[in-house]
Amino acid sequence: MSHTVLTVSTTTLSEMKKHYASQSAAKLPTGAVFAAKTADCAITGYRSGKVLFQGKGAASEAAKWQGETAQAAPARKKKPAPALLPPGFSELSVIGSDEVGTGDYFGPITVVSAFVKKEQLRKLQDIGVRDSKDLTDPQIVAIAKKIARLIPYSLLILKNEKYNELQQKGMSQGKIKALLHNQALINLHKKIFPERPDAVLIDQFAEKDTYYRYLKGQKEIFQENVFFSTKGESIHLSVAAASIIARYAFVKQMDQLSSEAGFPIPKGAGSQVDAAAARLIREKGESALLHFTKKHFANTEKARRLLNKQ
């Protein structure tokens, strides 16, 4: 059986784990942090950073991550320094950037960059802006409408047709996200010009080096005062605000898809999602998946299996 081994950074490893979450295998081998199966490849990621690709599709699946391997082996890679943020960061005027929908089988990816000036921090707090994961959909909608009137932002919606096209060309989700964040940041800076933020904070989905490697070859690359941190929502309210607007846009898109489908389209990538996908295929044909879903997720195969059983 053909196989390929990559050595990746811890951030890439956790990104891969997320990327393959919808296709995860039931059993984890010793020392593994994730195990997944696509139609023609089994992928196992180990705590050591080694990722093993096995099967017919090994080489092409591994190729998707080729750009993100830890700098080719010899010298041991230094541990990445923790994001060093300027002192008093939470009180600065900051553009925050976050995305929604990357783990959902149905619906688009939405990315938002939002500018919150220091004078507005208190006001946003009063409105209830905080980590969107702690908020219900109706709360998100209500708060998003209020903040959208208060602060400048740039919203990008990557619809499924385009996502599937990029994915089929071999683009990783990490690169897709980086391109979207970069574009949103460029758009927002133009919008607020000549005003400038003290800093930009991207809710971290890749290490800084990886992020800029994804952007190589782009006409315009935004990199002035850009910081990366995980849990960005808790570091500056601008990231929380961006996340709320992104989720609001995602929810609206899902409502739209539900009305097109004629039944409620579920979020996530669980078994309800498989059932909804099966129903969609039965009623609209498999070609509809390109419009409604991120087709490469394992849910497509699971939906096909459900249909074959009927």
Site string for Mn ion, 197-236 (x = CB under 5 A): ------x---------------------------------
Q: Decide: residue 76, CB within 10 A, 0-12 exposed, 13-18 middle, 19+ buried.
A: exposed
Q: Cβ 253 to Mn ion, closest distance in Å?
A: 17
Is the CB of residue 290 less than 8 Å from the CB of residue 161? yes
Dist. CA 203–CA 83, nearest whole Å: 11
> Which residue's Cβ has the minimum distance to Mn ion?
203
Question: Which residue in the block uniquely carries the two structure tokens 């507005």?
Answer: 120
Nearer to Mn ion, 80 or 103 (CB): 103
Q: Cβ 129 to Mn ion, closest distance in Å?
A: 15
Asked if 104 is part of the footprint of Mn ion (rule: CB under 5 A), the reply reads: no
Dist. CA 108–CA 256, nearest whole Å: 11
Nearer to Mn ion, 228 or 292 (CB): 228
Q: Cβ 233 to Mn ion, closest distance in Å?
A: 8
Nearer to Mn ion, 130 or 302 (CB): 130
Site string for Mn ion, 175-204 (x = CB under 5 A): ----------------------------x-
The DSSP letter of residue 117 is: -
Dist. CA 293–CA 278, nearest whole Å: 12
Is the previous residue joined to 80 through a cis bond, with omega within 30 degrees of 0? no
Considering only 98, 104, 207, 274, the residue that binds Mn ion (CB under 5 A) is 98
Nearer to Mn ion, 61 or 98 (CB): 98
Size of the site for Mn ion (CB under 5 A): 2
> CB neighbours (10 Å) of residue 25?
16
Q: Which of 97, 128, 80, 108 is nearest to 252 (CA)?
A: 108
Asked if 15 is part of the footprint of Mn ion (rule: CB under 5 A), the reply reads: no
Binding site for Mn ion (CB under 5 A): 98, 203
